[in-house]
Amino acid sequence: MPATNLLQGTLDLLILKALAVNELHGLGISHRIAQITSGTFDVKPGSLFPALHRMEEAGWLAATWGDSENKRRARYYRLTAAGRRQLHAETQQWETIALAMANALRAS
């Protein structure tokens, strides 16, 4: 569902989550997000790269150059300690909000 608008802040959380297991390059992150959301979110490079660079500057991500599967030089992102803390905090926040929203919508 490419038309789905990413909620403000959701993209950050998805990127953090996507990188929780191992480091990935841009396209890899994109695929990983599609995979973990069962294709609900298809992140385009126009939103992905600004977000990656912003999060890197915020100190949540660190990047290194490495060789990709096809022997191409790619930039790999991984979580920093701050990034892990951020993932934790945002996850909790999200769960609180999701619960509250679900309750609110279920209320008669």
- Per-residue contact track with other proteins, 34 to 73, x per CB under 8 A? ----------xxx--xxx-xx-xxxx--------x-x-xx
Contact between 94 and other proteins (CB under 8 A)?
no
Pick from 75, 84, 90, 94 the residue near other proteins by CB under 8 A: 75
Tokens of 104: 């609110």
Task: Answer whether 80's CB lies under 8 Å from 86's CB.
Answer: no
The C-alpha angle with vertex 43 and arms to 38 and 48, in degrees rounded to 5, equals 140
Determine if 6 is a binding residue for other proteins (CB under 8 A): no
CA angle 33, 86, 25 (to 5 degrees): 35
Q: Least separation, in Å, of the C-beta of 75 and other proteins?
A: 5
- Rule CB under 8 A: say whether 74 interacts with other proteins: yes
Closest by CA to 10, choosing from 48, 45, 57, 60, is: 48
Q: Return the SS3 of 67.
A: strand
Applying CB under 8 A, the residues found at the interface with other proteins are: 25-27, 44-46, 49-51, 53-54, 56-59, 68, 70, 72-75, 82
